[in-house]
């Protein structure tokens, strides 16, 4: 198994262990070609929030955003504890269809006490996100 | 006791939301309606924990609870069955949740325009002192449904 696959499965396993909700939503952590963390939630029937389209539940999209933000901050800071989300806003841009979701995070400001990040969520095309979020985090004291 | 705009519409939409696969998966439950304020809840479950060693529900569960509670709050003002889609949702986390305890959500639609609904809600836990964990502010876009689709939903979700 390549080093990359070992790292990805290790990160995923750790996330599942440290954050039970991450396991519940079936989160998979991947590393993209730019060496950035990529959070992937494969489609499951339990993700549905609109049976007519069908579409993924907006609350689950929010859950992915929070999960991605916390794991991203912890990974980049190599901290033992998770940061604490102070507030976040999700803008829902397009319906999430019955397929995989991907999320990536970006620091807008990385501080000692407070960090600000943006999270983009998409399905087939990163340039056509289904949701976009701004997150304010309080950094853990050991960061 | 509730004083919703149309009891049949409210009942149908409320039941439709509660029975959505993701809502069922997290164990979302309906508590009661006071006036036009719905109250819903999610029981504590270890598989929905935020962290391995602290027995508190993850924010994603709170977000889902508040999204559904806010949509239900809009439904309390509707005359006909409509489709509601969340445009944006802001959550402020005021304080940590109590461990091993269910969470409750209540919301009020304070402005209903032709196309857009504005809602405010709180997520709390019932302890001897009110323990508010989070506030939510949501906007929804309304879409009219054809009569036959309205009837399908009403028939399916009124017991």
Residue A26 forms contact with B (CB below 8 Å): no
Is 0.90 surpassed by the pTM of this model? yes
Per the structure block, which two tokens stand in for A39?
């959070």
Using one digit for the tens of pLDDT, what is the confidence trace for B43-71?
999 999 999 999 999 999 999 999 999 99
The answer to whether the peptide bond before residue A54 is cis (omega within 30 degrees of 0) is yes
CA distance B134 to B90: 10
**Reported confidence tier of residue B130, pLDDT bands at 50, 70, 90:** confident
**Reported confidence tier of residue B1, pLDDT bands at 50, 70, 90:** low
With 60 as the cut, is the pLDDT of residue A143 above it? no
Q: What is the mean pLDDT of chain A?
A: 94
CA distance B138 to B119: 5
Q: Which residues of B touch A91 (CB under 8 A)?
A: 87-88
Q: What is the mean pLDDT of residues A84-111?
A: 97
Question: Which residues in B have their CB inside 8 Å of a CB on A?
Answer: 20-25, 46-52, 58-61, 63-68, 83, 85-93, 149
Q: In this predicted complex, what is the ipTM?
A: 0.95
Run of H or E including B117: strand B116-126
Query: Which pLDDT does position B158 carry in this prediction?
Result: 87
- Our CA-based measurement puts residue A23 at a distance from the nearest CA of chain B, in whole angstroms, of 8
């Amino acid at each position: 198994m390549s080093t990359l696959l070992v790292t990805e499965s290790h990160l995923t396993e750790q996330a599942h262990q440290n954050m039970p909700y991450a396991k519940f939503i079936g989160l998979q952590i991947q590393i993209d070609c730019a060496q950035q963390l990529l959070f992937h939630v494969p489609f499951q029937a339990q993700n549905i929030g609109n049976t007519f389209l069908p579409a993924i539940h907006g609350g689950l999209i929010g859950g992915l955003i929070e999960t991605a933000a916390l794991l991203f901050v912890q990974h980049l800071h190599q901290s033992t504890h998770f940061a604490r989300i102070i507030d976040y806003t999700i803008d829902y841009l397009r319906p999430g269809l019955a397929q995989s979701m991907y999320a990536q995070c970006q620091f807008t400001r990385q501080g000692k006490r407070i960090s600000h990040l943006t999270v983009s969520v998409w399905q087939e095309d990163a340039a056509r996100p289904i949701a976009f979020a701004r997150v304010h985090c309080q950094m853990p004291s050991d960061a | 006791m509730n004083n919703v705009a149309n009891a049949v519409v409210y009942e149908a939409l409320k039941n439709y939301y509660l029975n959505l696969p993701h809502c069922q998966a997290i164990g979302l439950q309906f508590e009661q309606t006071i006036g036009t304020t719905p109250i819903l809840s999610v029981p504590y479950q270890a598989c929905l924990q935020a962290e391995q060693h602290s027995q508190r529900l993850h924010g994603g569960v709170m977000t889902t609870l508040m999204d559904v509670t806010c949509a239900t709050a809009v439904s309390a003002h509707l005359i006909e069955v409509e489709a509601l889609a969340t445009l944006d949702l802001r959550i402020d986390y005021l304080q940590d949740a109590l461990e091993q305890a269910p969470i409750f959500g209540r919301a009020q639609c304070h402005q209903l325009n032709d196309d857009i609904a504005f809602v405010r809600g709180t997520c709390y836990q019932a302890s001897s002192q009110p323990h508010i964990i989070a506030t939510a502010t949501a906007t929804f876009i309304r879409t009219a449904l054809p009569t036959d689709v309205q009837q399908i939903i009403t028939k399916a979700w009124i017991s």
